[in-house]
Every structure is written in structure tokens, then in C-alpha cells.
Structure 1
Amino acid sequence: MIKPEIFRQYDIRGIVNEELNEESYYLIGKGFGTYLRNKGLKSIVLGGDARHSTPLFMNAFSKGALETGCDIIDLGIVPTPVLYFSIWKLQSDGGAMVTASHNPSQYNGCKLNLGLSSVYADELQKVLQIIQKGDFATGNGKLVKNNEIGNVYIDYIVNGIKLQRPVKVIVDGGNGVGGPYLTTILRLLGCEVIDMFCEPDGDFPNHHPDPTIAKNMEALSKAVVDNKYELGIGLDGDADRIGVIDEQGKLLLGDQILNILARDYLKHNPGKKIIADVKCSMNLFNDIKKYGGEPIMYKTGHANIKMFMKEMGVEFAGEMSGHIFLADRYLGFDDAIYVSCRFVEIVSQTHNPVSTFLADQPKLYNTPELHTNCPDEKKFEVVAKVCEEFQKEGYDVNDIDGARITFPDGWGLIRASNTTPVIVTRYEALTESRMNEIKNLIESKINKYL
């Protein structure tokens, strides 16, 4: 049978040969195929990342799904955004992407889609329940291969981006699947491009494939400075997260990338709403207001945000983790390849260096995302108790996702991770000493309940 714990909040994720094997994917294919057939649907676009186990796992998924009567369009090895694009372009009922995203090489997983919406939370549990019951649909689906959609995707992006001048960019593909796509597109747009680690390699030999962490971007940072290039762009393993390095070699945080894009968006779309997750800086929320937009703070998680965007009719959203969603001039899903091009488009409109783009903002002191180990069965209870305590004491608490406690001169966040047994915290204030005071106050309450 299948291990229930691999069915996480947003996707399926586990260690190869310990938690996931060919049998697991055969059952996932049968489970998801049945899930679709129960809705009167049957077409699935299938793709996978560059991990060594991915081709075998894709075949096993196909076998299972075909036996439920679903038809499979096999794209081969592609970035996750190309899979999402294919669902839209080929008008497929669903999609399955065999990937572990930014996780280390020993992991694999699967992202499931119903149209362009993620199958997550309770809906993902329904797929697990179908597998556990063994109550599968039966039939004989058809398998076709489509090796052309990647070129269609590249043309679509190139046609939608207009650069004012060539930009000098270094791309760190993290040995994931996105590097060859992004470098091809940027060159077609006329950019001067140096590529680093753009050869897909499931061992991720150069660094962990997560561009939001500074140590993973050290080689890119050095290359940008040494070559006197305007910026560096890093992609994660499946190209749905972006990292940016400015011309001084400094890593921009996810909310800073979002902020630069937000200013440009509001220039063309005055008064519009922008969604950002609870981990983002108060500079971002204040800046959206300053530039005439309406900021909305929402839960962390790419699936949560995509669903909320649709409900609210919002065109632009993003989160600290580097997932950014544009339905303005694009299709609304998290695509780090497309977002990279939009960022380069902004750079092309000026000769000012990237390091000056947010130089007018107040200097704030903040921590990265901090993790405190806490068992899965206890973490939500600890967060709820801390949240309740702050509310009782009369603090300004936003409890949309854990508790974000706002003070006149800063804020602190406590939330339970949806994917790992940890409590996540982050702190920000006008001074370093105040940031540490807020941190100590919140941590003292967490420690009471751990």
C-alpha cells in the first residue's frame, strides 16, 4: 500500500525507495485517474523534473491512470510552469507533475492539478482515500507524446515581453529543468546571457536547488560581481520559484522581488488589489498602499494563493518563498521563468542599477524564516494558544494563517508549517534591538506551550 504521510498539504512528497517507488506512482495514477473519472473527466497532461527516478515514476503513473480510462499526454521532462501552460493550451482536464521541486536529490513527489487549480488539502486527501479503498475506475486510456509544447511555451513568452534595451543577465538554473528554457527565452529577447548550472542533473551537484537561500546563490552572486552584469536570476528544481541577485551580489528576498514587480504593475493598473502572504515585510504592504494599490495579506502556500486569487478576481500575488503569480498579461500560475522575464523587462526600462530600485524605502531589520521543531500533532495547538494569548492581551493580531502580531514599530509571525513538523517564525522592526525584543516576547510564549 501507500504511506499516507506522503500526501502533504499541497502535493505528494517523499524519499525515493523509502516512501515512494514505482508501485506508489502506479497507485497515485490509478487514484488520480479515478478522481477525474468520478467528475466525468479523463484527460491528463503528464510531465516530470530532472530527478533520476522521474522517468520510471512517470511511466508507473501513466500505467495506473490509463487503466482507469484516462488519456495521457506525456510531455516528457519539463518545468512545472510548462505543465501548467500545457493544461491551458491543450485544454486538458487535469495535470500531474512528477517533481520534488526545491527538495534535495533523494526526494521525489507529484503535483496534481484539476484544470489550472491545484489539487490540495481535502481534495488531495480524496485521492488518498480512493487509493486506500482500492475502488478504482476501469478502462483503456490512450497515451500520446507531445514534445513540441515546450517550443510553443517559449514562443508565447517571447511574444508577451517587450524589452527597451538588451539586459546583461546571469542565469543559475540550479541543475533543474528551467535553466535551458529561461536562457533560450532571454537570448531570443536580445539579452546578453551567461548560464551557470543550467544542465539538468538530478544529483544537483553544484548546490541545493532553492534560490531563495543565500548560500545556494553564492556562486551566482560572485559571477554577477566578477562579470559586472546587471543581475543574476536563480531558479528552483522545477522552475516555479525565483531568486534574484542585484549587481552588487546581494540576494533580493521574495517580498523585495514582489515589491519591484508591484510598483511596475500599479503603474499600469492603478488602484488594483495585490495579495502577499503573511511572511512578507511591512515595507511591501506599505509600499503597495503608497503606490496606490490595495494590499491583501493572505495565507502562505502556492495552492492557497492561486485559489484566493481566483475567488477575489486578483491579477497579481506572491509570497516570500519566491512563488509569484501573474494573471496580468499572463495565465495566473506561479512561473519563475515568466516572472524572470517580467523582472528583466523592468530592468530594461531604466539604466539605474537594481540595487537602487527600493532604495527609497525605510531601512528595516528582519530575520529570515526561523524554524522551531514541533511534532505535527502538536504544532497547530501551540500556535493557537500563542495566538489566543496575544488576542486576550489586546494586541493587533491577524490570524488568517497562524498569528501575525503587529506593533507600532514592527511585527512578529508564528505559524505552523503545512509541510514539515516545525513552527515557523519571522520578525521585523525599525531597529535591531526592537526586532530582538519582539522575537524574545513571542518566543517566550511559544516556549510555554512546547
Structure 2
Amino acid sequence: MSHQFDSTVLREYDIRGIIGETLGPDDARAIGRGFATLLRRAGGSKVAVGYDGRTSSPMLEHALVEGLTASGCDVVRIGMGATPMLYYAEASAEDVHGGIQITGSHNPANYNGFKMVFQGRPFFGADIATLGELAAAGDWDDGVGAVEERDVLDAYVERMLTALDGIDETALADLRIGWDAGNGAAGPALEALTARLPGEHHLLFTEVDGNFPNHHPDPTVEENLAELRALVAEKNLDFGVAFDGDGDRIGAIDGEGRVVWGDQLLMIYAEDLLPRMPDATIIADVKASRALFDHVERHGGKPMMWKTGHSLIKSKMKEIGSPLAGEMSGHVFFADTYYGFDDALYAGVRLIAAAARLGKSVTELRGAMPAMVNTPEMRFQVDEARKFAAIAEVEERLANSDSQVDGTDGVRVTTEDGWWLLRASNTQDVLVARAESESEQGLARLMEQIDEQLALSGLERGEQAGH
């Protein structure tokens, strides 16, 4: 017995494909067999399995469990829920050594995939490649695993509420917040959570529906926040919080309807955390605003710029013991009094806690941030074989210039006008560009530099590629 995966499915941070075309039950079974084999060889024996609200998820879950048990691992089925609930099930139970969530994240409804954690660390990159090698060789252990079901929702909600420990209840009693679950997997947990939070809560689209009838569940795209913005305006709420399809990425708007982007949320969380943990290193990805890095320094922390990708950031946090990290894409990781994984529901509670402790509303905190002019994340198609080479050429050309260049992940160049970034996506055949300045004129000059570098490598900022 061996199995061949479609070449597009095993990716850098997770496994993802199109149901019926590149991904199906046989793939799920092979993932289970490979994961269980690696876990047993590393001394583990029990895996938690959860799944999101997509119509194809139950079928994949069934096959995955078959694969895991056929290679001798016991399985704890936690049922449908948000990805962070699966992470919680793995992190909080001493008898569980790994976890797999079946989820298509924020991809279109016909996609699905797998996010994995292995003995408390993210399972990605070389680990995922190994699953492909084991499958191709049929190099799987055999065994008979047992299956049990465990309801973790109440314990998970209870654990998230600890974020409000020590905060005066009266400071929270008048809160009025809007929440948009986007018909994603976080809906049931959000209902249970808000029922126990102080204040008044208005919920949108908590009914799990894998066809996403109301809007696409990606809170980093502004048009997907339209209903939440309307709700906040109509009911005059303090702020609004939105989730992606599997609940590990947060989006937010303040009381005036302004988006609070991923790096701006991190500014709020950092300002709240640093008085308690002075000198802490706070990590953000290379797409984050300079305002964030300055803000962390100003409040006594050490800012660190790191590579984009939730698995890469989680690994770096663990390595250096950082209590807080985040990405522009809305992944936020808390490891001060939580487990270090990305959990948008918990991040929502931490936003409430931060505003209460700082004695300022989210609207005030957002209003105090410097007004930067920046581009959205620009993504354009570049041949897979060409994308990393092009970035290397840019780096080489700039090495001899007086530009200030950071090569952590692609090329981030700082000039008097601000900064610009060019990097190759790890998951698609695209280059990503972004720039930020304090003025429109400065931004235009930065864009000229990007275009000039692309032209020197025979490329241009052509058709925008989707996610």
C-alpha cells in the first residue's frame, strides 16, 4: 500500500486542496497513517481531531480517523469547532500528544485542508514533506487504535474567560460589542463565550454554513466587514470583532467604523502587556507597520521582525520565549497567560481586557495611532521557478547601495520616505509587495523603487493574484 498526493496539496504551513479534484478521503487516510506513524516513532500515542463547518469536512474526518487508528494511534474526536479549540484540546490535555484540524480556513467553499500540531509544536515545512515521502513509500506502522469522543467546548470557553481575571467587573458592565462569525466554525464557541461575558453583545452569522451565504470569511478584506460596520454604526457599539472561517484570525473595527488592522491590534496588546512584562520581545511579521515596532520600543519592549507564516512565528516564539506575536493577516499569538497559539476568540477577549486595563476605549486607542499611508498587500503572479530567484537578484543589487535592507523574509527596504517590501509567497506562485509612508508623495516614490527593481528583473506589477 502506498499513496501519491497531488503535487499542489502538501504546502509550507498546512495541507490544502480542492475537494474532488486534488483532495479526497484517500488523501485524508494517508495523512492519518503518516502522522500516526511519525507520532508513534516519537513516543506519542494519542491524537485530537476536530473539523470546521465545510460540507466536505465530516467525510475527511472519517477517513483521517481511519488512517490514524490503522497506524496504531488512539483518537480523541472533539467534533466540529474552531481550529483554536482543537489546539486547546491538544495543549490542555496531558494524555494528548498531537492534533489535526480539518479546515479550509478562509479559502472558497470547495477547498479543504489540514492544520496540525505535533507534541506541542507546529507541524509544517519538512514535516509535511515527510508525510508525502512516507505515503509514496507506504512506510507506515500498523496497529489498532481506539476512538473516544470528548466535549471540550465548555472547558475551552471557561479557559478563555480567565483573560478577564483581576479586572474590575464594573469596568466591563457597560461594554457593547458586535461580533461577526461569518458562518464559520467559531459560531458555537462565540455564542457560548458571549453568553458568559459581561456587557451587551450583538452577534452576526453564528450559524455554521460551509457555503458562507453572507460574505466570504476573511476579516482582513475590508468589504467582508461591511455588515459588522453597519451593525456597530446602527447600534452605536464600542467596537466590532470578526473571524475567519476557522477562527484563528481576527479582524476588528472601532466605534467609528475604522478598521483596526493586525499590526494595530498588536500595538494595543503590546501596550497592555508590557507594563506587566517589561523588556519582553514582541514579534511581528515583515509586513507590519513601522509604527508597531516604534510603539513596542516606546513602551519598553523589544520589537522583533520575523518571517510571515503562522507556523514560523509560533516556532520563533517558542524558541526565544516571546509572550506575544502577531501577523498582518490577523493571526495573534499569546503566550503570557495562554498557550502561544493563534486564537481569534481569545484575542477578542484580550481586546476587552486591554481596553479595560488601559482605561481607554478601542476607538481612543485606534485614534491615537500615527496616520500612515500604506498600500494593501499587493500580490501578483510570478512563475514558481522565478519567484525566489527574482528576490535574490533584488537583494544582490541593493547590497551595494546605501539603502537600509532587512533580509529576514524577502527584502524590506527602509528609506527617508518610509519602507517597501518584496517577498515571495511560500504557498503560491506570487510575489507580495507592500509599502508605507507618512505622505502620498512618499508612497509614490517607494512604489517607483519597487517597480524599478521588478523591471530590472524583467518583471512588473501585473495582474493582482487572489489568495
TM-score computed with the length of structure 2 as normaliser: 0.94
Answering whether residue 154 of structure 2 is matched by residue 136 of structure 1, we say no
AA aligned to 1:375 is D
Q: CA deviation at 1:409?
A: 3.0
Q: 1:64-143 maps to which residues of 2 (within 5 A)? A: 64-91=67-94, 92-143=96-147
Return closer, same or farther for 1:350/1:40 CA change in 2, 3 Å cut-off. Answer: closer
The CA distance in 2 between the partners of 1:159 and 1:355, in whole Å, is 24
2:254 is aligned with 1:246: yes
Q: Distance in 2 between matches of 1:431 and 1:56?
A: 52
Q: Secondary structure at the match of 1:268?
A: coil
The answer to whether residue 38 in structure 2 is matched with residue 35 in structure 1 is yes
* 1:88, distance to aligned residue in structure 2 (A): 1.6
Is 1:165 equivalent to 2:169 in the alignment? no
- 1:396 pairs with 387, 397, 404, which one? 404
Aligned residues: 449
For 1:341, the aligned partner's letter is: V
**1:18-54 per-position Cα deviation (integer Å, ceiling 9, x unaligned):** 1101111111111111121222322110000000000
Please say if residues 405 and 413 of structure 2, whose CA atoms lie closer than 8 Å, have aligned partners that are also in contact. Answer: yes
- 3-state SS of 1:9 partner: coil
Q: Tell me the distance in 1 between the aligned counterparts of 2:357 and 2:274.
A: 15
- 1:76 Cα deviation from its structure 2 partner: 0.7
Q: Does 2:298 align with 1:290?
A: yes
Given candidates 336, 340, 345, the residue that maps to 2:348 is: 340
- In the alignment, the residues of structure 1 paired with residue 189 and residue 324 of structure 2 have an alpha-carbon distance, to the nearest angstrom, of 23
Q: Of the candidates 426, 433, 442, which is equivalent to residue 441 of structure 2?
A: 433
State the partner residue of 2:185: 177
Q: Which of 7, 25, 29 pairs up with 1:22? A: 25
**Partner in structure 2 of residue 328 of structure 1:** 336
Deviation at 1:228, TM superposition (A): 0.3
Post-superposition shift, 1:292? 1.1
Residue 18 of structure 1 aligns to a residue whose secondary structure is: coil
SS at the partner of 1:393? coil
Tell me the secondary structure at the aligned position of residue 39 of structure 2: helix
Matched residue SS, 2:288? coil
Who is 1:194 aligned against?
202
Determine the C-alpha separation between the residues in 2 that align with 1:413 and 1:374.
Answer: 16
- State the Cα distance separating 1:255 from its structure 2 match: 0.4
How far off its partner does 1:68 sit? 0.5
In 1, the alpha carbon distance for the partners of 2:147 and 2:455 equals 54
Superposed CA offset, 1:326-381 (max 9, x none):
01111111111111001012233467442221433432110111111112221111
C-alpha distance in structure 1 between counterparts of 2:109 and 2:32, whole Å: 22
Counterpart check, 1:7 vs 2:14: no
Question: 5+ unaligned residues in a row in structure 2: which ranges?
Answer: 460-467
Return 225-234 or 351-360, whichever deviates more. 351-360
1:150 maps to 153
Distance across 1 between alignment mates of 2:188 and 2:272: 27
The answer on whether the counterparts of 2:249 and 2:342 sit within 8 Å (CA) in structure 1 is: yes
* CA shift in 2, pair 1:340/1:278, >3 Å: same
Separation of aligned partners in 1, 2:274 and 2:381 = 39
Contact 1:383 1:402 in 2 (8 A): yes
- Please say if residues 238 and 363 of structure 2, whose CA atoms lie closer than 8 Å, have aligned partners that are also in contact: no
Which consecutive residues of structure 1, in runs of 5 or more, have no partner in the other structure? none
Percent identity, please: 37
Show CA shifts across 1:118-145 (max 9, x none): 1111111111110111111101111111
Q: Of residues 370, 387, 391 in structure 2, which corresponds to 1:362? A: 370
Residues 8 and 265 from structure 1, CA distance in 2 versus in 1: closer, same or farther, beyond 3 angstroms? Answer: same
Equivalent positions of 1:297-316 (< 5 A) are 297-316=305-324
Within 2, Cα distance between the matches of 1:160 and 1:322? 19
- The residue type paired with residue 243 of structure 1 is G
Asked whether the equivalents of residues 277 and 318 of structure 1 are also in contact (C-alpha less than 8 Å), the reply is yes
Instruction: Name the SS for the 2:13 alignment partner.
Output: coil
Q: Distance in 2 between matches of 1:383 and 1:107?
A: 30
More displaced stretch, 358-367 vs 122-131? 358-367
Contact kept? 1:179, 1:235, Cα under 8 Å: no
Which residue of 263, 270, 275 maps to 2:271?
A: 263
The structural deviation recorded for 1:196 is 0.3
**Aligned pairs for 1:398-437 within 5 A:** 398-437=406-445
Contact 1:229–1:247 at 8 Å: present in 2 too?
Answer: yes
SS in 2 for 1:5: coil
Q: Give the residue type in structure 2 aligned to 1:165.
A: L
Q: Distance in 2 between matches of 1:420 and 1:239?
A: 22
Q: Residue type of the partner of 2:85?
A: V
Cα-to-partner distance string for 1:243-290 (whole Å, 9 max, x where unaligned): 001111111111011111111111222221111110000000011111
Where 1:51 maps in the other structure, the secondary structure is coil
Structure 1 residue aligned with 2:235: 227
Would the aligned equivalents of 2:417 and 2:446 in 1 still touch at CA under 8 Å? no
Q: Answer whether contact 2:272 2:357 (CA < 8 A) is retained.
A: no
Partner residue in 2 for 1:385? 393
What is the match of residue 277 of structure 1? 285
SS in 1 for 2:274: helix
